[in-house]
Structure 1
Amino acid sequence: MVQDTRELNRKAVLTALMMSRPASRKWIAEASGISAATVTRAVDQLIAEGIVTETAEIISESRGRRAVELDVVSNRSFVVGVDLGASNVRLVVADLLARPLLALEIATPTATTARELAHWLASTARTSAGDVWDRVEHLCVGLPGAVSQQKRTISNAPNLAQIEAPTFLDDVENAMGRPVGFDNDANYALLGEQHFGAARSASNAAMVTIGSGLGAGLAIDGRILQGDHGLIGEFGQLPVGPLGTRLEHMVTGAGIIRRAAEAGIDLAAPSQLFASDAGPALKALRAHFDQALLIVLTATTVSCDPQTIVLGGGIANSLASTLDRYQAALEQNLRVSPRLAPAELGDFSGAVGAVVAALHKVYADLGIEEEAFVSLPGGDALTHERVQAARR
């Protein structure tokens, strides 16, 4: 019982410090409701473990008395977040407080087997982390498909089919030699935008990614919705088009090119569909796209009643100036509409979210209370500007 009480106090003190760092022992005692003597004992334990350190002295408001500020030892642990896409891989190495050490974008080696891709990912992560690799405690990898947490398999990944190999996730983890978490790239993109991007003020939020594929992540009360088979948010599988055409084939880049060819329109790139000076034939094709996207946004809205839907991906980038049109259409259909916003983190939403997910694993191992993860990591450590400054 004594040991259990000490552990509970340690967790409460560390959580309070993480939620409002740096802080004095007195502040932690007031915030946690734990006695000053108990806080001191817990802090001493955390200092001995190398998790917390004393920093500068501060002058308190009461009679100029001095107190010592405490902070977390940020370089004690590092994590790596990876967004594995069909065209590019984006990777971020960050410390315990989510401050980026490096951000990287590199072409995906698609002409590889599943095993070769797994070993390439591990080599890239190890090289990117460099001298801090020995202190990397956890990695998370976002993937373009439905990730089954129950079976540790991937499905619905036609643009990078080799990752559907039954042993791919195990191959990645074995090659890394570290614990690795996996999830759909849209889920990680939403997690990134929740903590450092366009969804920071929304307890219920969603992320829709439209590029070479269509994905959606959903969150209620700040937490990403998960399922055993990874099918939550897989709206692209809905057979809504003629003869059961899947929704994904009506809004993605490849789908736009295919539909243009079927209509006898020569379209060099999907972005041409959204040109302001498009001719009548393209405008008709755009109307079909708009209707399909409205189905995506409606399905997303009724699934989690979000205050904000963040849109990311190559196709979504072409829509940034016209989001108000879709928001008005949603309001007309549903009588209410979430705010539609472009991804603030740009192409790095997924990698940033993977960092957040990896940090949550490390925080849990350190003993930080899980209820705090909705707010942690916070601040501006992984904003778009910080990520871009860390690019190599």
Structure 2
Amino acid sequence: MTFSVGVDVGGTKILAGLVDESGAIVTTARRESPRNDANKALAVVAEVVAELSAPYPGAVVGVGLGVAGPVDSSRSTVFFAPNLGWSNVPARALLEEVVGVPVVVENDGNAAAWGEFKFGAGAGVEDLTMVTVGTGIGGGIIIDGVLLRGAHGAAGEIGHMNAIPDGLPCACGRNGCWEQYASGNALVRDARALAASRRGEAGLLLSLGDGTPEGVQGVHLTKAAELGDLVAIDAFRGVGTWLGRGLADLAAILDPTAFVIGGGVSEAGDFLLTSARQTLSDKLSGKRQRPTPEIRLAMLGNRAGLIGAADLARTNSQSLRAS
């Protein structure tokens, strides 16, 4: 049996896993992630790859590195990863020098989409779009079983579709991006505003924080909704509606069989997805010619990117051997 190593490089942690041919994680390793120093971070990655590979000499065929930022079309250089402080880092070349096996570098949203496509909620579907709803919105697109990267490796930045011209400012420098209305940040902002205007209905939600609308945090909202807090339920409904609007736009362009929804906010389940499904159905164009795409919850959690990166590394290794 052979293995590949998937590595998810985040702003605070590096999580790596030894993954077998079926997508199962055999073992994992975790380290703190050095910021603003790509060489140090990649040295840590090399260290965990060596640790995971040691019990299986000669059996590791490749390493997949997932990072939060655009990667060039050859899957070798990270153009920009703001949460890491990386800019134009030739990660593949630097890492291959040390680990001695082929390396693939991939955007983390693409890696997660591939993981769900091969081994999770997207299994059996050839055309899917993954939408990761966390602090912002990320994504990955699979068409005819192929991961869509675009001409410059920057496809899938769906959180920055324009939802409202001249709308709320986004960290990307533009205004009105979809993630300003359908993300975890949007959920907390809207919940605080609702709690301030409907304090009489928000007692349960407020009690989970410091008693003020400003103290409402994302971790409070799902619990409050499960306990029947109407303000929390309405906050999820509103964000779910915005989510569904964006999905309808994506469906008009990509025509997927299914959307896979992941990220921390997706853990709210139907509190988020009921209104998303209804809005997608209401806003979908061309309904006479096609069914409404399914909306599925992601299955692999925060391991999707790790598993996907590992499988992409295995596929790359097989291609290199075949050539």
Query: Closer, same or farther in 2 for the Cα pair 1:101/1:273, shift >3 Å?
Result: closer
Query: Closer, same or farther in 2 for the Cα pair 1:283/1:346, shift >3 Å?
Result: closer
Offset of residue 234 of structure 1: 0.7
Please list the CA deviations of residues 51-95 of structure 1 after superposition, one character each: whole Å capped at 9, or x if unmatched: xxxxxxxxxxxxxxxxxxxxxxx2xx4311122233544322134
Offset of residue 174 of structure 1: 3.6
Partners of 2:163 and 2:79 lie apart in 1 by: 20
Residue equivalent to 2:117: 194
Partners of 2:57 and 2:246 lie apart in 1 by: 41
Q: Which has the higher helix share?
A: 1
Indicate which of 220, 227, 231 corresponds to 2:154.
231
Residue equivalent to 1:204: 127
Offset of residue 260 of structure 1: 5.4
Unaligned 5+ runs, structure 1: 1-73, 369-392
Q: Report whether the alignment pairs 1:86 with 2:7.
A: no
Residue equivalent to 1:390: none
Indicate which of 356, 362, 366 corresponds to 2:317.
362
Query: Closer, same or farther in 2 for the Cα pair 1:298/1:163, shift >3 Å?
Result: farther
Query: Closer, same or farther in 2 for the Cα pair 1:298/1:84, shift >3 Å?
Result: farther
Give the paired residue count: 290
Partners of 2:64 and 2:75 lie apart in 1 by: 17
Residue equivalent to 1:278: 229
Residue equivalent to 1:141: 65
Indicate which of 107, 116, 123 corresponds to 1:184.
107
| TM, length-normalised to structure 1 | 0.65
Partners of 2:250 and 2:122 lie apart in 1 by: 15
Give 2:41's aligned amino acid: L
Alignment of 1:38-57 (within 5 A): none
Residue equivalent to 1:25: none
Give 1:319's aligned amino acid: G
Offset of residue 363 of structure 1: 2.1
Percent identity between the aligned chains? 25
Question: Which moves more between the two structures, 146-155 or 213-222?
Answer: 146-155
For residue 125 of structure 2, give the secondary structure of its aligned residue in structure 1: coil
Give 1:84's aligned amino acid: V
Alignment of 1:53-92 (within 5 A): 74=1, 77-92=2-17
Indicate which of 307, 317, 323 corresponds to 2:273.
323
Query: Closer, same or farther in 2 for the Cα pair 1:285/1:196, shift >3 Å?
Result: closer
Indicate which of 37, 45, 48 corresponds to 1:124.
48
Please list the CA deviations of residues 111-161 of structure 1 after superposition, one character each: whole Å capped at 9, or x if unmatched: 452221111111112112223254423111122122222584435644x14
Please list the CA deviations of residues 12-33 of structure 1 after superposition, one character each: whole Å capped at 9, or x if unmatched: xxxxxxxxxxxxxxxxxxxxxx
Q: Determine which structure has more spread, i.e. the larger CA radius of gyration.
A: 1
Query: Conserved in 2, the CA contact under 8 Å of 1:89 and 1:107?
Result: yes
Indicate which of 279, 286, 299 corresponds to 1:344.
299
Unaligned 5+ runs, structure 2: 169-174, 197-212
Query: Conserved in 2, the CA contact under 8 Å of 1:328 and 1:337?
Result: no
| TM, length-normalised to structure 2 | 0.77
Offset of residue 168 of structure 1: 4.5
For residue 349 of structure 1, give the secondary structure of its aligned residue in structure 2: helix
Partners of 1:92 and 1:192 lie apart in 2 by: 13
Indicate which of 305, 309, 312 corresponds to 2:255.
305
For residue 229 of structure 2, give the secondary structure of its aligned residue in structure 1: coil
Q: Report whether the alignment pairs 1:245 with 2:200.
A: no
